[in-house]
Structure 1
Amino acid sequence: MNVTTNAADLVSVSVAGRVANPAFSGLPAEPYRLTAEGKAFLWPTFGGIVYNVSVGDSAFGWSGDCVHPSVSIAHPDANKNRGLNVFACVGNKATITSGAAKGTTGTVTGKSGRFSDQVIIHFDKGTRAKIAVDDQVMVAAEGVGMTLPDHPGIAIKSLSPRLFDLLPKKAEGEVLKIGVVATVPPHMVGAGAGLTSEGGSLHMQSTDRAELAKHGLDKLRLGDVVAIADTDSRYNHGYLRGAMSIGIVGQTDGPRAGYGPGLTVVMTAPEGQLGAYDAPTNIADLLELRP
């Protein structure tokens, strides 16, 4: 169904970053991290060019910790990186502007990092083979400031008008319902709670595999659209009874407590204005990102 937006009034602006290199902090504990059971591990983590993980693949089972599919970018200047992370929206077009893959386009599929460190961009595997770390990527950022005049209680976050139009949805009275793969209950919300919702990700806890299966979350794929119950993300992510957020699975799970698949929140409402219904929705299909 068509839902009225103010898309015609939105500003489309360039933001840019470089293909990020995976990094570890200088703390003495690095590069080792601890599993939920207290065992040290060393696996690939977020950042870099990931050649064999793509949107549409499973969010579970990889020997990695919160891995980003395809390519991650960041700006070396912290303030400019914040601008990149705030303004880039899922579904935006990204163009490589330097290196062997110059001129090739991709699509923003998520954001990550405790403090909005990186933007995740899908490029096909052939393009990934040509990209180098530090190649420049420019995003035609559009979506920040989008509103729904007929549903003023719903806040839009990090969502391009193009992807919003493609999402399955239906209105039941004043409630706008979005088609989702599953619903994350509030007790499974993990890392990211309490932080800003303008960038970064909100993680789903996944160390209790039985609880995952109980809620139909154990088969999630990167790019799946999910609901997050009793979660208000208008400003900071937090618990609020009756609220709901809609997120897109942007990162894989990992062995650390509190860090399951990372979700990029794209819609939120505090008082029942936003709902969900069962529908097999993945942005790899909506945005035609599969080979």
Structure 2
Amino acid sequence: MIKINKERLVMQSVQGKIHSPTVNSPYRVDRNGQGRILPATGGITYNVKLGDSCMNLVGDHIEPGVSIKNENTQENNALMMLSCIGNEAVVISGNAKDARGIVTGMHSGIDHVLIYFNDEDMNKMAIGDTILVKAFGQGLKIEGFEDVTCMNLDPNLFEKIDLKIDQNGTLEVPIVAEIPAYLMGSGIGSSTAFMGDYDIMTGDKEANKTFGIDKLKFGDLVLLRDCDNTNGRQYLKGAVSIGVVIHSDCVLSGHGPGVTVIMSSKTTKIKGIFNDKANIGHYLGID
């Protein structure tokens, strides 16, 4: 049986408002040097959902569901750092007040927390509505796995993922794809992986097919080979990280589907087991 320190973890409230899409220049310059006008981050995205394909959308860095942000920078840092995938979110203002949702990811750069809500509740929401997140999970540890750093993951969701320990004492994690370190792009070198995400680069179509990137869905669990996220994001031979796909493919060079890391090891204490149902929507019963 896999044991965690769930009973010692602290739950705190953080909150933000539904953040409007923003535009500086109308053009996003794609990998071919062409200016594209596309929907991108923010707001309420009605027709892109957890479990949908994150590829081939007519958009850039699309965030499924509801995107929130706090106008105070320090408070938003806390929202980004303390929120964990699987946390409960509660609408506390507006026509959808008291609606419940689930955090599905944290998006660096734009610094949004992304939240799943059902269609009925989203249709009552408006930009500026306030949403509270019951932040719970940072500091999660697995007993007997000191080499594995957990982050950004609600312990209740951790317990729903079909994790196993093999005969060699390696943690087996269900995944839909394994991504080599050389395909990890925007966000590499960040000082911490305990908030936000970094991108799988998708400029090489053959690599997209070879590694199953072209089939990725929002919420999929992926293994990042030779990627160390224990203290910032870096290449390290033999390191293994597990992450969740949180935003869509992108048209920009060095970008692609965003991955929020949920565990990492500098050693080979984590092993991926391919499973086409390895998606947080499946484990949360909302796929």
Please give the TM-score of this superposition, normalised by the length of structure 1.
0.95
For 1:92, the aligned partner's letter is N
Structure 2 residue aligned with 1:91, among 86, 92, 102? 86
Q: Are 2:10 and 1:11 equivalent residues in the alignment? A: yes
For 2:285, the aligned partner's letter is E
Q: What is residue 144 of structure 1 aligned with on the other side?
A: 138
- Give 1:120-139 correspondences, 5 Å limit: 120-139=114-133
For 1:163, the aligned partner's letter is L
Count of residues in correspondence between the two structures: 284
- Hey, what's the Cα distance between the residues in 2 that align with 1:93 and 1:137? 10
Q: How far is the alpha carbon of 1:32 from its aligned partner?
A: 1.1
Q: Are 2:81 and 1:119 equivalent residues in the alignment? A: no
Q: What is residue 247 of structure 2 aligned with on the other side?
A: 251
Q: How far is the alpha carbon of 1:289 from its aligned partner?
A: 1.8
- Hey, what's the Cα distance between the residues in 1 that align with 2:195 and 2:59? 22
Structure 1 residue aligned with 2:74, among 59, 76, 79? 79
Question: Per-residue displacement from partner, 1:143-181 (whole Å, max 9, x unpaired)?
Answer: 011111211110011000011111122212231120100
Q: What is residue 66 of structure 1 aligned with on the other side?
A: 61
Percentage of pairs with the same residue: 33
- Hey, what's the Cα distance between the residues in 2 that align with 1:168 and 1:37? 41
Structure 2 residue aligned with 1:170, among 139, 145, 164? 164
For 1:146, the aligned partner's letter is L
- Hey, what's the Cα distance between the residues in 1 that align with 2:52 and 2:227? 26
User: Which runs of no fewer than 5 residues in structure 1 stay unpaired?
Assistant: none
Q: How far is the alpha carbon of 1:49 from its aligned partner?
A: 0.3
For 2:128, the aligned partner's letter is D
Question: Per-residue displacement from partner, 1:203-261 (whole Å, max 9, x unpaired)?
Answer: 00012111110112210111111000000001211100000110101001011111110
- Hey, what's the Cα distance between the residues in 2 that align with 1:197 and 1:141? 17
Question: Per-residue displacement from partner, 1:68-115 (whole Å, max 9, x unpaired)?
Answer: 00000010000000000000000000000000000000000001022x
Q: What is residue 154 of structure 2 aligned with on the other side?
A: 160
For 1:127, the aligned partner's letter is D
Q: Are 2:272 and 1:272 equivalent residues in the alignment? A: no
Structure 1 ranges of 4+ moved more than 4 A: none
Structure 1 residue aligned with 2:281, among 281, 284, 289? 284
- Hey, what's the Cα distance between the residues in 1 that align with 2:237 and 2:157? 28
User: Which runs of no fewer than 5 residues in structure 2 stay unpaired?
Assistant: none
Q: What is residue 46 of structure 1 aligned with on the other side?
A: 41
Q: How far is the alpha carbon of 1:24 from its aligned partner?
A: 2.8
Structure 2 residue aligned with 1:229, among 222, 225, 228? 225
Structure 2 residue aligned with 1:104, among 99, 118, 128? 99
- Hey, what's the Cα distance between the residues in 2 that align with 1:288 and 1:10? 24
- Hey, what's the Cα distance between the residues in 2 that align with 1:113 and 1:144? 17
Task: Kindly report the root-mean-square deviation, in angstroms, between the aligned alpha carbons of the 2 structures.
Answer: 1.0
- Hey, what's the Cα distance between the residues in 2 that align with 1:257 and 1:213? 18
